Amino acid sequence: MEKQSQTLSQRMFRALMRVLPFDFRTNYEGEMEGVFREQQREVKERGGALDALRLWRETIAGIFTMAPREHWQILQDDCRYALRMMRRNVWFTAIAVATLGLGIGANTAIFSVVHAVLLRPLPYTQAQQLIQVRQTEKKVGVDDLSFSVQEIADYRKQNRTLAGLVEYHSMSFTLFGHGEPERVRTGVVSANYFELFGVQPLLGRTLVAEDEKPGAPAVLLLSYEYWKNNFGADADIVGKTFEMNDKVHTVVGVLPPVPQYPDENDVYMATSACPFRSSPMHTENRDMRMMEVFGRLKPGVTVAQAGADMATIAAGLRAAYPKYYPGNVGYAAEASPLKEELTRTARPTLLLLLGAAAFVLLIACANVANLTLSRMARRERELAVRSALGAGRSRLLRQLFTESFLMAMASGLLGLLLAYGSLELLVDFAGRLTPRAREIHLDAGVLLFTLGVALGTSLIFGTLSAVFSRANLTSSLKEGSAGAAGSGRRQSRVSSVLIVGQVAFSFMLLIGAGLVVRSLIKMQHTDAGIVPQRVLAMRTTFNWSKYTDDAASKVVLQKLLERVKAEPGVVSAAVSSRYPFEPEAISDGPEAVSFTFAIDGRALEPGEAPPVSTYAAVSPDYFAALGIPLKAGRLLAETDREKAPLVAVINEAAKRKYWPNEEALGKRMSPDGGQHWGTIVGVVGDVREFGLNHAPVPEFYVPQAQNAQPATLIVRTVAEPRSMARALTRAVHDVDPQTAVTHVLTLEQARYESLASPRVTASLLGIFAGLALVIATAGIGGIMALMVSQRVREIGIRMSLGAAPARILQMVLSRGLLLCGLGIALGMVGAVALRDLVKSLLFEVPATDALTFAGVGLTLLAAAALASYLPARRAAGIDPNEALRAE
Amino acid sequence: MNKKRETESFLPLTPAMFHILLALADGEKHGYAILKEVARRTEDKVRLSAGTLYGNLARLESAGLIAESGKRPEVVLDDERRRYYLLTAFGRDVAVAEAERMEEALVQARVKKLFRKPKLA
């Protein structure tokens, strides 16, 4: 019993000793235990239980107060020593820190985007409860039908899963009372819209129920950006009035800087203030759809449950209004998390880039590990001597880890600086993918990530050094230089593996970058079907309230065209509801301008989806202005007026899809279930309207004179089109000074801008791949140089036995190329395995494109040959006599 | 001059350190003996634990104030491997300097009439 308690307290004391540094324990553990035993004996003799407790308390407190000091002491010693070693090997340190810093910087930069966009919750209250509700007609390929006023009322009334349901749509209105007439992008929303999102106003208030009542005084809420950029962040803005849609609008508040979804708007108004939304045409027609719908889940409800709820409501509507929801379109409704909607386009690109950055870091790690190994070979003696002088093994390991830790921290700092420097560029890039870009910062989460990555890297190459030193500490002392030679061979084997890995990862990265760049080049050289040179587009937004009926707006558009065509330097001019590469058309996609129609004399099978196409309302010169060729029949003409028979011109894609084996000219179609019929009078060439990577879709061009639509002015000029912008704006204001002219863009600019996102992706991937190539090449060069210096004696022997310098050159070169070739083979396997990751970013280039694979392989081989050439020449120049004498 | 500066760089000593140096002033001792001596001399007011004792011994040793004695214990008396510590000449200098520092402080306290009866005199 006595014995047992003795050993128990002994064990406890020993366990307690574990908090002390290893060295200290080795030195004093036995003695301390002895002292403690004596103290215990003494206490027992006195026989006080309280005394025994007091002894334990004092012992524990004593050890815990002294332990940090001892650890700190050792850390200080190690750091001082490590810094001295780093100073002594300035080049090694600089190269290692720079290499790792680049890798960490790339990861930090991309992670800051991933963190802000994909990981952090949306900056709304209880954002996980926010959903978007969608109506779909899957059978005709419509994933996002908008909502009509009546549908919104139905979903609001009938749902059982939502705590709130709000609507949204965006329009452009002209705002007066603040300098020139200004076109403002206006979000038209339910009164409780911001309340539902949990957004508190920065100034004033948001919208309230009273604002939405019919006939309520019109009020405006300004977005943070609009307030800041257009009103200089005027603190007294609340209460100011502006004129819009012939009504006085009073500013009631300013929003905080939150991501605006679905669109970045300048101002917000209540639904009752929108002249379109509140018109009988919209309130009375179930299929006048233009709104989007968001909801907040009731507590405890999942998105799936809400989705099922919406589907049930949709089924009810199908049964109640078969006229509006015919069976053949597949009408349904669904719910998805708002966060998913906000990050849908960004996710695949960002994850790919994060993967690429991780590859770069891996390659950098392998390179530094190699550097460390070759330095370890030189430090072997130093470590062996220290070990012989009594430094314990774990003491040496601790020393090595301190060194790699310091190096990693320096690299982390460098990486952070690099990431900080590239932040602005990244925000700009991410802005093309998601409204969350403004949230990108180097915040605590990112700093933690960088610290973690730096620690991880220090662990990786610290462990490598440690493993290597463990293997060699004993042998190099015991066997002298013979042992060192043996370990040199092992080391070069480890190095070779690392080189092969580096090349493999570089190959994969280069393939990814190569494929994306090739896609970009293909896109750039794709024929869009128009002649974009010397064409200017300008959005002309009339003051809606002045042109309330179709006739008035047709007259003013006609006047506008006549006035513009009279301007010297104008070759042709047209108005159109949209134009190729229009930024908004690209982001909204063809669905936003699609309609279903019936073809005369062609009945649908039960359940068969009706034909669907996009459409544009254009004036006759549209085709001439853009250079769209006529393929059959005729173009639209001035005679296709309002009272004339309805006509349409289709593109070849529409002809191929709906009249593949027959004449399309003269056929009739109806967009409204047979109330009106239009005749096809011509076929024109296909245009890649929605981006160069978007195959042409069926398109109907209808006369603007028969279908008045908000218009963009399209002008083909003799000279550089931008130089005409001022004169053309003046011409527009001659016709009506209350017209806002915005979005002035040449078609070439629009075409260039449409490729911005793939271009940035390609550049980032290209930069990463370039880094990888440089790092891997340097790695090969370094290792070959090391190999040569380790084998000077062997090479000397070979030469003295008659090997020609050329033979030696070839030997070294072929070794470098062999390693590279192995890496390429492995990389090829990897690239084929990972091909699905990059597929979504490719355009007309297969993920296993032979040309790219061959090009990348040759590039790597050439780099390896170059990197091995210098060491190879050195080897060939070795003087055999000197080499043998030196040993 | 230089030596003085070196001794002064250790001042003031922590109470534990000073008592350890005091304990070694009249001859070399092993750890437990130091601990006992300090407790006895201060009437248990300064109680060293195993941790604080050896933490301080380590620091004093690495600073050269004390050193390990070559003397080994008689096996019969103790089967533990005990180490004996002795005060180095430098350690003695430091201890003297610390005592002088304290005395000076005492004198000043007396001048300011901060206590009536000089206890240490």
Mean of the pLDDT values across residues B24-51? 89
Q: What is the pLDDT of residues A297-356, one digit of tens each?
A: 999 999 999 999 999 999 999 999 998 888 888 899 999 999 888 888 788 888 889 999
Q: What is the pLDDT of residues A36-80, one digit of tens each?
A: 988 888 888 887 788 888 889 999 999 998 889 888 888 888 888
Of the two residues A787 and A615, the one the predictor is more confident about is: A615
Instruction: Give the whole-angstrom CA distance, residue A174 versus residue A184.
Output: 6
Q: Closest to B31 (Cβ–Cβ): which among A31, A59, A64?
A: A31
Report the 3 state secondary structure along A727-793. HHHHHHHHHCCCCEEEEEEEHHHHHHHCCHHHHHHHHHHHHHHHHHHHHHHHHHHHHHHHHHHHCHH
CB contact under 8 A, A27 and B53: no
CB contact under 8 A, B50 and A36: yes
Q: What is the pLDDT of residues A543-553, one digit of tens each?
A: 767 777 777 88
> In this structure, are strands A699-703 and A740-746 parallel, antiparallel, or unpaired?
unpaired
User: Does residue B1 have a pLDDT over 60?
Assistant: no
In a domain? residue A412: no
Q: Centre a 10 Å sphere on the Cβ of residue A472 and count the other Cβ atoms it contains.
A: 23
In a domain? residue A715: yes
User: Does residue A886 have a pLDDT over 70?
Assistant: no
Report the 3 state secondary structure along A257-269. CCCCCCCCCCEEE
Of the two residues A362 and A432, the one the predictor is more confident about is: A362
Q: How would residue A480 be classed by pLDDT, with cut points 50, 70 and 90?
A: very low
In a domain? residue A816: no
Mean of the pLDDT values across residues B39-59? 89
Q: What is the pLDDT of residues A525-540, one digit of tens each?
A: 999 999 999 999 998 8
Instruction: Give the whole-angstrom CA distance, residue A151 versus residue A705.
Output: 31
Q: Which CATH number fits domain B2-111: 1.20.210.10, 1.10.10.10, 3.40.50.2300, 3.40.430.10?
A: 1.10.10.10
Of the two residues A784 and A190, the one the predictor is more confident about is: A190
Query: Of A285, A308, A343, which closes a domain?
Result: A343
Q: How would residue A793 be classed by pLDDT, with cut points 50, 70 and 90?
A: confident
CB contact under 8 A, A32 and B80: no
In a domain? residue A197: yes
CB contact under 8 A, B58 and A65: no
Q: Closest to B51 (Cβ–Cβ): which among A27, A34, A59?
A: A59
Taking contacts as CB-CB distances below 8 angstroms, the residues of chain B near A39 are 32, 35, 50
Share of chain A above pLDDT 90, in %: 43
Instruction: Give the whole-angstrom CA distance, residue A535 versus residue A719.
Output: 10
CB contact under 8 A, B32 and A24: no
Mean of the pLDDT values across residues A445-451? 91
User: Does residue B120 have a pLDDT over 70?
Assistant: no
Mean of the pLDDT values across residues A552-567? 88
Residue of A737, A765, A403 lying closest to A563 (CA atoms): A737
Instruction: Give the whole-angstrom CA distance, residue A148 versus residue A169.
Output: 11
Instruction: Give the whole-angstrom CA distance, residue A313 versus residue A135.
Output: 11
Taking contacts as CB-CB distances below 8 angstroms, the residues of chain A near B80 are 30-31, 34
Q: What is the pLDDT of residues A263-293, one digit of tens each?
A: 889 999 999 888 888 888 888 889 888 899 9
Q: What is the pLDDT of residue A673?
A: 80
Residues A602 and A686 in one domain: yes
Query: Of A322, A343, A364, which closes a domain?
Result: A343
Both structure tokens of A455: 């620690």
Q: What is the pLDDT of residues A566-584, one digit of tens each?
A: 999 999 999 999 999 998 8
- From A18's Cα to the closest Cα of chain B, the distance in A is 12
Taking contacts as CB-CB distances below 8 angstroms, the residues of chain B near A36 are 50
User: Does residue A484 have a pLDDT over 50?
Assistant: no
Q: What size, in residues, is chain A?
A: 887
Taking contacts as CB-CB distances below 8 angstroms, the residues of chain B near A67 are 51
The mean-pLDDT minimum among A62-66, A868-872, B69-73 falls in B69-73
Residues A54 and A133 in one domain: no
Residues contacting residue A64 through CB under 8 Å, at least 6 positions apart: A19, B51
Q: How would residue A688 be classed by pLDDT, with cut points 50, 70 and 90?
A: very high
Q: Closest to B47 (Cβ–Cβ): which among A58, A65, A66?
A: A58
Dmax (CA) of chain B? 56
Taking contacts as CB-CB distances below 8 angstroms, the residues of chain B near A66 are 51-52, 54-55
- From A389's Cα to the closest Cα of chain B, the distance in A is 17
The boundaries of the domain holding residue A20 are 2-77
Q: What is the pLDDT of residue A481?
A: 45
CB contact under 8 A, B55 and A64: no
CB contact under 8 A, B49 and A30: no
Q: Centre a 10 Å sphere on the Cβ of residue B40 and count the other Cβ atoms it contains.
A: 10
Residues A53 and A162 in one domain: no
* HSE-up (13 A, CA, CB side) for residue A789: 10
**Alpha-carbon distances, residue A352 vs A357, A385, A765 (angstroms):** 9, 48, 9
Q: How would residue A465 be classed by pLDDT, with cut points 50, 70 and 90?
A: low
Q: How would residue A512 be classed by pLDDT, with cut points 50, 70 and 90?
A: very high
- ipTM above 0.90? no
CB contact under 8 A, B50 and A63: yes
Q: What is the pLDDT of residue A836?
A: 86
The string of DSSP letters for chain B reads -HHHHHHHTTPSPPHHHHHHHHHHHTS-EEHHHHHHHHHHHTTTSS---HHHHHHHHHHHHHHTSEEE-S----TTT--S---EEEE-HHHHHHHHHHHHHHHHHHHHHHHTT--SS-S--
Backbone CA torsion sign across A864, A867, A871, A873: positive
What is the pLDDT of chain A when averaged over all its residues?
Answer: 87
Q: What is the pLDDT of residues A87-129, one digit of tens each?
A: 888 888 888 888 889 999 999 999 999 999 888 888 888 989 9
**B83: closest chain A residue by CA:** A31
Residues A13 and A154 in one domain: no
The number of folded domains in chain A is 3
Q: What is the pLDDT of residue A483?
A: 45
CB contact under 8 A, A38 and B58: no
Residues A51 and A141 in one domain: no
Q: What is the pLDDT of residues A6-34, one digit of tens each?
A: 678 888 888 888 888 877 888 888 889 88
In a domain? residue A494: no
Q: Centre a 10 Å sphere on the Cβ of residue A48 and count the other Cβ atoms it contains.
A: 12
Taking contacts as CB-CB distances below 8 angstroms, the residues of chain A near B83 are 31
> Is pTM, for the whole model, over 0.90?
no
Instruction: Give the whole-angstrom CA distance, residue A30 versus residue B79.
Output: 12
List the single best residue of B49, B52, B78 to mutate versus A (max A Cβ within 10 A).
B49
Q: Where are the domains of chain B?
A: 2-111
Q: What is the pLDDT of residue A385?
A: 72
Q: Where are the alpha helices (DSSP H) in A126-223?
A: 149-158, 193-197, 209-212
Interaxial angle between packed helices A725-735 and A550-565, expressed in degrees from 0 to 180 and rounded to the nearest 10: 140
Taking contacts as CB-CB distances below 8 angstroms, the residues of chain B near A64 are 51
Q: How would residue A1 be classed by pLDDT, with cut points 50, 70 and 90?
A: very low
User: Does residue A638 have a pLDDT over 70?
Assistant: yes
Q: What is the pLDDT of residue A684?
A: 97
Q: What is the pLDDT of residue A535?
A: 95
Q: What is the pLDDT of residue A108?
A: 93
Residues A553 and A664 in one domain: yes
Taking contacts as CB-CB distances below 8 angstroms, the residues of chain A near B47 are 58
Q: Closest to B58 (Cβ–Cβ): which among A28, A36, A63?
A: A28
Q: What is the pLDDT of residue A622?
A: 96
Q: What is the pLDDT of residue A456?
A: 87
